[in-house]
């Protein structure tokens, strides 16, 4: 069995969960039913990252260091392969920004918003036990997922910059993955919906329109099990209002990135990732760098 068929399933969980700005190759890869994954890693960002893009700050220079712990399990959903995953980040944020022309600074540590996701491959990736998976080869996979994030992250209604946003986030997505020799071409489209934050800075209520996002990935696998991906994502929308007054924060952003996954023995792997903003209408570009370790077990491995 080629290791890279399994390795790509969940290594990309370690993007910093900004939802619309995620870059996630191999999100709909197949794997044997019953396989479990645990992932631990660190992501570092520098620039104008905002955990809540609707917050009206300018000239942001915010650095974050995020430790991430994730778990996932491959499922049999009506004969189709699927997975359930959960991710919990813990973040240190520090830096400065301007709010209504006044400089503000922030240095805070706390939990980021957790995320739970259920996905299923509707076409091209049947649920298989390990003995049957050995002879399976990918052609065209079509899948979908639903991700939910509760408002459990650090949040202080008396501060303008926080790790959390005090609201629920819901993200339905559809993905397509096509194997062409040792290459895989992928595309994903999603919408991110937000509930209102009724305890926004200053005692206000803030709402936000959905953000729509598209991703594209070009992935190459090697016989050793190593694989790399070149990625791009575009997202738009997300205009917010505070107490019914529209803000000038419509987003139209491009990001590019790359991922390198390397097997270490039969059950372990290491992933290196990097991404950067190409353009951003609202000026919230940032650079991100990550390293992750993955261990897998179960399913007859």
pLDDT for the residue numbered 101: 77
What CATH number is attached to the domain comprising 174?
A: 2.40.128.130
Residues 6+ apart with CB under 8 A from 202: none
Distance in angstroms (rounded) separating the CA atoms of residues 46 and 273: 14
Class of residue 102 by CB neighbours under 10 A (exposed 0-12, middle 13-18, buried 19+): exposed
Distance in angstroms (rounded) separating the CA atoms of residues 271 and 75: 24
* pLDDT per position as a tens digit, 227-237: 999 999 999 99
DSSP 8-state secondary structure symbol assigned to residue 14: G
Distance in angstroms (rounded) separating the CA atoms of residues 39 and 12: 10
**219 CB neighbour count, 10 Å cutoff:** 23
Q: What is the dihedral of CA 56, 60, 65, 66, to 10 degrees?
A: 20
Contact (Cβ atoms closer than 8 angstroms) between residue 64 and residue 93: yes
Distance in angstroms (rounded) separating the CA atoms of residues 95 and 60: 8
Q: What number is the average pLDDT over the span 261-266?
A: 93
Mean pLDDT over each residue of the chain, to the nearest integer: 87
Tokens matching residue 48: 């104008």
Residue scoring higher pLDDT (59 or 16)? 59
Tokens matching residue 196: 């209102």
Parent domain of 240: 4-297
Residue 53 predicted with pLDDT over 60: no
pLDDT for the residue numbered 223: 87
Distance in angstroms (rounded) separating the CA atoms of residues 259 and 184: 14
Residues 6+ apart with CB under 8 A from 192: 19, 20, 169, 170, 171, 210, 211, 212, 213, 238
Residue 64 predicted with pLDDT over 80: yes
pTM: 0.88
Q: What number is the average pLDDT over the span 247-269?
A: 90
Q: How confident is the model at residue 184 (pLDDT cuts 50, 70, 90)?
A: very high
Residue scoring higher pLDDT (48 or 210)? 210
Backbone angles phi, psi at 5, to 5 degrees: -65, -30
Residue 50 predicted with pLDDT over 90: no
Residue 257 predicted with pLDDT over 60: yes
Cα distances (angstroms) measured from residue 285 to each of 79, 223, 224, 276, 288: 42, 36, 35, 7, 10
pLDDT for the residue numbered 23: 64
Residue scoring higher pLDDT (18 or 217)? 217
Q: What 3-state class would DSSP assign to 81?
A: strand
pLDDT for the residue numbered 8: 47
Residue 14 predicted with pLDDT over 50: no
Q: Which of 7-16, 92-101, 180-189 has the lowest mean pLDDT?
A: 7-16
Residue 12 predicted with pLDDT over 50: no
pLDDT for the residue numbered 52: 60
Tokens matching residue 210: 């959905």
Q: What number is the average pLDDT over the span 245-272?
A: 90
* pLDDT per position as a tens digit, 116-169: 999 999 999 999 999 999 899 999 999 999 999 999 999 999 988 889 999 999
As for how many domains the chain has, the answer is: 1
Q: How many residues does the chain have?
A: 301
């Amino acid at each position: 069995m080629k290791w890279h068929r399994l390795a790509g399933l969940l290594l990309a969980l370690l993007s910093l969960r900004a939802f619309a700005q995620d870059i996630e190759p191999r999100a709909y890869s197949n794997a044997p039913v019953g396989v479990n994954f645990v992932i631990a890693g660190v992501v570092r960002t520098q620039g104008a990252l905002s955990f809540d893009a609707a917050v009206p700050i300018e000239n942001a220079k915010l650095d974050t260091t995020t430790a991430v712990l994730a778990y996932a399990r491959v499922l049999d959903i009506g004969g189709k392969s699927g997975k359930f995953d959960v991710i919990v980040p813990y973040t240190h944020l520090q830096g400065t920004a301007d709010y209504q022309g006044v400089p503000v600074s922030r240095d805070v540590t706390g939990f980021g918003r957790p995320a739970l996701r259920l996905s299923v491959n509707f076409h091209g990736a049947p649920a298989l036990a390990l003995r049957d998976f050995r002879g399976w080869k990918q052609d065209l996979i079509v899948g979908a997922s639903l991700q939910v994030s509760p408002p459990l992250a650090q949040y202080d209604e008396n501060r303008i910059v926080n790790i959390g946003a005090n609201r629920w986030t819901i993200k339905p997505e559809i993905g397509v993955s096509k194997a062409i020799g040792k290459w895989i071409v992928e595309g994903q489209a999603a919408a991110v919906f937000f509930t209102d934050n009724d305890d926004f800075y200053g005692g206000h209520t803030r709402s936000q329109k959905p953000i729509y996002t598209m991703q594209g990935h070009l992935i190459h696998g090697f016989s050793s099990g190593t694989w790399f991906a070149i990625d791009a994502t575009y997202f738009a929308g997300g205009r917010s209002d505070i107490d019914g007054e529209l803000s000038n924060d419509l987003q139209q952003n491009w990001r590019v990135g790359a991922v390198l996954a390397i097997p270490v023995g039969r059950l372990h792997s290491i992933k290196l990732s990097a991404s950067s903003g190409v353009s951003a209408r609202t000026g919230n570009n940032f650079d991100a760098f990550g390293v992750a370790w993955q261990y897998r077990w179960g399913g007859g491995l």
